[in-house]
C-alpha cells in the first residue's frame, strides 16, 4: 500500500517548504534544523513509494534506513534543543551532529543487503549488525528523551509566563508527534507494517502543528524591515532631536551617542527577534537581573518610555508586545550599560 507513504511524503515536503521559507525570512537555528528534518523524513517516505512502485534496490533500502530509521528523530531533537536553550547550545554541537551523521551513513552504507529478500521485505533486507542496531537505538532513544524532556522542561519553565505557554504547547506537540511516528515503527516490528505510514503521516502533521505554534510563540518581529546602519543611525538621531533639544554648546558631543546607537542596534538586531523568555535571560546575562513585582517604579517607567521613543517604529511594535517587566529589564540594561556615554552627557545637562 503506497497511499500512506505518499501522503506522508507530501505532508513532509510541504512542511519543509513552509518552515524553510520561514527560516530564510526570519533565520533561527531550530527552523533551519527542522527544515532538514522534514526533508529527511520526506526522502524516507518517498523511497518507500519508489520501492513499492518500481521495486527495491540495495541503495534504495539504505537511503530509507538511514533517513527514516536512524537520523530523523535525532535531527528533530537537535531542533528542540535550539528552540529551548536558544544561544546556550554549545558551539561544538553542530560539529558533533555532523560527525554522528557521517558515522551513521558509513555504517548503513557498508551494511550487507540480502538481495534475495528485497522483493518481499524491502528495506528490512538490510542486515543490521550489533553496531548499526546500537547506533540506531541510541539516536532514536536519545532523541525521544530530548524531545519528551524538552517538552516537560518548557511546560514547567513557562508555566507562569503567559506569552510562553503557546511555545510550551508547541514543544509538547512536537514530542507527541515523534511518539506517534515511533509507535508506527513499533507496530511494524510487531508484524503490522500497514500502520507504519499511517502513523508517520499523522505524526508528521502533529509535529508540524507544534512547529507552527513555536513559530507564533517566538513572537518574531514580523513587520521589522531592518534598514541600513546609516539610515537607522540617521533615524535615531532625528528621534533624539525631537525628544531632547540640546544647547548649542553640546552639539560637539554628538560623537558620544555612538554607544547608544550601537545599543539600539543590538536590541533591534539581536534581542527583539528572540521570544520573551530568551530576551529576559539574555538581559540577565548582560547583568540586568529579572524584575519582580507587578508594577514599575517611576525610574523604571522613565527608562522604559525613553527606550521606546528611541526605537525605530517597526521595532517599537515588537517592544510593545513584551511583558512590561521584560521591557523594564531591557531598558535598564540599555540605560545603565549600553548608553553610558549618552547618559553621562544627559546627566551633565541636568547638573
Domains of the chain: 3-217 (1.20.1070.10), 229-350 (no CATH)
Coil/strand/helix, residue 349:
helix
β-pair partners for 113: 126
Which DSSP string do the residues of 222-234 spell out, in sequence order? TT--PPPHHHHHH
Q: Which residues contact 319 (CB under 8 A, 6 or more apart)?
A: 272, 307, 308, 311, 327, 330
pLDDT of 108: 93
Ranges of residues in the chain with a pLDDT under 50 are: 218-236, 239-257, 341-342, 344-351
pLDDT of 243: 42
pLDDT of 341: 47
pTM of the model: 0.59
pLDDT of 246: 40
Read off the C-alpha cell for 344: 553621562
pLDDT of 28: 83
pLDDT of 98: 93
Instruction: Answer whether 243's CB lies under 8 Å from 213's CB.
Output: no
| DSSP 8-state class, residue 295 | S
How buried is 314 (Cβ within 10 angstroms: 0-12 exposed, 13-18 middle, 19+ buried)?
middle
pLDDT of 102: 95
pLDDT of 244: 42
pLDDT of 184: 67
H or E stretch covering 257:
none
> d(Cα 272, Cα 149) in Å, to the nearest integer?
27
Instruction: Answer whether 193's CB lies under 8 Å from 210's CB.
Output: no
The alpha carbon of 173 is separated from its chain's Cα centroid by a whole number of angstroms, namely 15
pLDDT, tens only, 195-223: 666 777 788 888 888 877 776 554 433 33
Amino acid at each position: 500500500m503506497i497511499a500512506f507513504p505518499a501522503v506522508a511524503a507530501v505532508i513532509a515536503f510541504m512542511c519543509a517548504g513552509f518552515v524553510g521559507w520561514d527560516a530564510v525570512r526570519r533565520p533561527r537555528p531550530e527552523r533551519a534544523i527542522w527544515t532538514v528534518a522534514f526533508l529527511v523524513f520526506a526522502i524516507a517516505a518517498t523511497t518507500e513509494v519508489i520501492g513499492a512502485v518500481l521495486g527495491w534496490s540495495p541503495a534504495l533500502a539504505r537511503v530509507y534506513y538511514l533517513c527514516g530509521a536512524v537520523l530523523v528523530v535525532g535531527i528533530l531533537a537537535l531542533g528542540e534543543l535550539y528552540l529551548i536553550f536558544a544561544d546556550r547550545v554549545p558551539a561544538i554541537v553542530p560539529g558533533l551532529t555532523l560527525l554522528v551523521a557521517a558515522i551513521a551513513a558509513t555504517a548503513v552504507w557498508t551494511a550487507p543487503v540480502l538481495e534475495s529478500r528485497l522483493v518481499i521485505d524491502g528495506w528490512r533486507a538490510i542486515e543490521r549488525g550489533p553496531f548499526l542496531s546500537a547506533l540506531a537505538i541510541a539516536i532514536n532513544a536519545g532523541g525521544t528523551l530530548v524531545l519528551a524532556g524538552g517538552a516537560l522542561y518548557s511546560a514547567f519553565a513557562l508555566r507562569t509566563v503567559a506569552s510562553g505557554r503557546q511555545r510550551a504547547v508547541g514543544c509538547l506537540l512536537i514530542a507527541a508527534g515523534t511518539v506517534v511516528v515511533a509507535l508506527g515503527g513499533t507496530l511494524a516490528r510487531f508484524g503490522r507494517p500497514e500502520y507504519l505510514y499511517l502513523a508517520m503521516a499523522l505524526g508528521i502533521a502533529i509535529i508540524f502543528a507544534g512547529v507552527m505554534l513555536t513559530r507564533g510563540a517566538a513572537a518574531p518581529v514580523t513587520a521589522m524591515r531592518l534598514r541600513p546602519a546609516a539610515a537607522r543611525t540617521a533615524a535615531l538621531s532625528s528621534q533624539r532631536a525631537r525628544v531632547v533639544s540640546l544647547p548649542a554648546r553640546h552639539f560637539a558631543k554628538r560623537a558620544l551617542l555612538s554607544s547608544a546607537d550601537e545599543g539600539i542596534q543590538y536590541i533591534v538586531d539581536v534581542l527583539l527577534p528572540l521570544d520573551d523568555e530568551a530576551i529576559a535571560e539574555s538581559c540577565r546575562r548582560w547583568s540586568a537581573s529579572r524584575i519582580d513585582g507587578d508594577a514599575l517604579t517611576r525610574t523604571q517607567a522613565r527608562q522604559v518610555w525613553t527606550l521606546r521613543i528611541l526605537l525605530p517604529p517597526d521595532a517599537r511594535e515588537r517592544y510593545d508586545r513584551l511583558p512590561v517587566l521584560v521591557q523594564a529589564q531591557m531598558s535598564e540594561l540599555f540605560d545603565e550599560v549600553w548608553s553610558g556615554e549618552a547618559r553621562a552627557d544627559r546627566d551633565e545637562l541636568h547638573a
